[in-house]
Amino acid sequence: MLAAIWFAGPPRAAAADWSTAQTVRVTTTEYKFVPNSLSFHQGVAYHLRIDNKGKETHEFTAPDFFKAVQLRDAKPLNPDRTEIVIQPGRRQDLYFVAGAPGSYKLTCSDHDWAGMTGHITITP
């Protein structure tokens, strides 16, 4: 019985049907995320598309959020798996299955001082 409880929860990212992933778009500019509040449902596959419409490099920094999701591929993340760097005029795509419910801080690590912050929520 304990083994069944241990394996209960969101599907593994490798088993997700990526063709049905829900697309969520975020735009970065100087100095904000649009939208700056994101909500995901536990166990659902998502395609997060981040477009940098600004003239500066921006980061989608959310280390605790990235620990709480199951990634299809970690290539868009930096080596520490704490952020996604988006160059001006470029975009990054991340596919994941939302995991542990909670509230997670979102910042641009270079521009949080200017108010480039937000939050991410994963609900059961």
| Residue 86, domain CATH | 2.60.40.420
CA-wise closest residue to 91 among 37, 53, 118: 53
Tell me 77's DSSP state: B
- pLDDT at position 15: 75
Q: State residue 14's pLDDT score.
A: 61
pLDDT at 16: 86
Residue 34: Cβ within 10 Å count? 12
* Block mean pLDDT (10 aa), the chain, length 124: 38 75 97 98 98 98 97 96 98 97 97 97 97
How many separate domains does the chain show? 1
Q: Which pLDDT belongs to residue 63?
A: 98
Is residue 101 situated within a structural domain?
Answer: yes
Reported pTM: 0.87
81 and 74 Cβ atoms separated by less than 8 Å: yes
Q: Classify residue 111: in a domain, yes or no.
A: yes
Domain with 89, as residue range(s), is 19-123
